[in-house]
Amino acid sequence: MSKSKIDADLRARDEAHVWHPFTQTYKGVVPLQVKKAEGTLLYGMDDQTYIDANSSWWVNIHGHAHPHIGRALNEQFLKVDHVIFAGATHEKAIELAERICDVLPDNFQKVFFSDNGSTATEVALKMVFQYFHNQGIEKKRVLAMSGAYHGDTFGAMSVGERDKFNAPFEPFFFDVDYLDFPTEENENEILRNATDLFQTGEFCCMIIEPLVQGASGMRMYSAKFLDQLTLRAKENGVLVIFDEVMTGFGRTGKLFAMDYCNEKPDIVTLSKGLTAGILPMGLTITSNDIFNAFLSPDTTKAFLHGHSFTANPLACAVACASLDLFERPETWNNIESIVKWNVDFANELNSCSMISNIRQKGTILAFEVNTEKETTYFSDLRDQLYNYCLDNGIFIRPLGNVVFINPPYCITEGEFKHVKKVLLNFLNELN
């Protein structure tokens, strides 16, 4: 029995005027109407509940309608709702910048605000390009990793995987070199290739998703490899950008993925969990060294970039409130519990015959369902599992035949067990 997903009138109005992201409307995809969201749950028609097992596109880390975040948002609205951020400043932006620098390694001292993960990437790339330009240094090549996802704007697409998603735009991208994705067998070869490239002296930066590549299917690699790669970049004067848009704020079991690494990047981008998934905001954080290359009596050497909503005070207040929650032991206890449940779940999955590549990092658990076809985002299995989960009170969004969970940290053991049971049932029924 399929439950009703949306009120008929609303469905017609949605269809008439709304263009949904990543959606082939031709296929008549019916979106789930969410009437209320609280804690781990989304409430649909007739008060049916759905566990938000992918944290509303990986952003909602503390659960929906968290009272502490709600209070911070309301209080900030009554103080300063929004204000221009060029020639003006406000206390919450300053507080957030200070607190973010506090929780990052010491070399991170300057915070640039933008609106989402993609703009945080654009800012990072523009910062690097102008850093060298301002000093009259010619370094134009960029290194990225195959399978990368850094956002959907042009710079971000240019440094991402060149695949079916962005084929129409490829003629407009700048050239980028790609490293293979590391596995235990090819790590040394990749490091040799990277070193050869860096030694040309032509590379300005390397951009990378640390430890977990998100959109390409929650693909994981070791901190040891990343340390060696970062070290080789730095030895050759290549700036290193870590895109922690997805990995940041506890996802990997530590506050940042770079907390697993000895070698730290020069620039880091944050978004998604930054505002606990409540309001859009991106941050690009770097060192005083890089910032200082923009200081000059010449205005054109400044970073002439900004957005209307740069450092929106409501988003800053919510991000600070989220950091408050990370100061509470219960948040870390919850993360620890999810890590433990994930490890147990991964062990149980080991005995399932129709899946492969079970992997887990912190609060993320992923595996691939073997299908006749190759592993791909366009797998039919995706729709089958998506609907099966909805029918069983779970909202997930598999990446093709890659199934993963990355729930809000407030998920209860009972809710987690339900997610596990439904996924295992699905796999058994496939047999």
> Which residue ranges make up the site for ligand PLP (CB under 6 A)?
116-118, 121, 149-151, 209, 214-215, 243, 245-246, 271-272
Taking the complex as a whole, the smallest distance from the CB of residue 396 to ligand PLP amounts, in Å, to: 16
Report which residue type is found at 129.
Answer: F
Q: Which is nearer to ligand PLP, 96 or 352 (CB)?
A: 96
Nearest to 242 by CA among 218, 270, 210, 274: 210
Nearest to 255 by CA among 191, 198, 203, 332: 332
Nearest to 112 by CA among 316, 312, 306, 317: 306
Characterise 87 by phi-psi region: left (phi > 0), alpha (psi -120 to 50), beta (else): left
Q: Tokens in use for 217?
A: 């299917």
298: which residues sit within 8 A by CB, 6+ positions away? none
Q: Which is nearer to ligand PLP, 245 or 365 (CB)?
A: 245
Report which residue type is found at 204.
Answer: C
Q: Which is nearer to ligand PLP, 120 or 419 (CB)?
A: 120
Q: Which is nearer to ligand PLP, 59 or 419 (CB)?
A: 59
> Between β-strands 49-52 and 267-270, what pairing exists: parallel, antiparallel or unpaired?
unpaired
Helix intervals (H) in 33-141? 55-58, 67-79, 91-103, 117-134
Taking the complex as a whole, the smallest distance from the CB of residue 426 to ligand PLP amounts, in Å, to: 25
Rounded to whole angstroms, the Cα distance separating 386 from 422 reads 11
CB 395 within 8 A of CB 52: yes
- Longest Cα–Cα distance of the chain, Å, equals 70
Q: Which is nearer to ligand PLP, 214 or 362 (CB)?
A: 214
73: which residues sit within 8 A by CB, 6+ positions away? 278, 279, 314, 317, 318, 321
Taking the complex as a whole, the smallest distance from the CB of residue 119 to ligand PLP amounts, in Å, to: 7
Taking the complex as a whole, the smallest distance from the CB of residue 34 to ligand PLP amounts, in Å, to: 19
Taking the complex as a whole, the smallest distance from the CB of residue 46 to ligand PLP amounts, in Å, to: 31
- Shortest-Cβ-distance residue relative to ligand PLP: 117
Q: Which is nearer to ligand PLP, 210 or 393 (CB)?
A: 210
Taking the complex as a whole, the smallest distance from the CB of residue 155 to ligand PLP amounts, in Å, to: 11
Q: Which is nearer to ligand PLP, 402 or 427 (CB)?
A: 402
Taking the complex as a whole, the smallest distance from the CB of residue 153 to ligand PLP amounts, in Å, to: 7
Rounded to whole angstroms, the Cα distance separating 113 from 311 reads 5
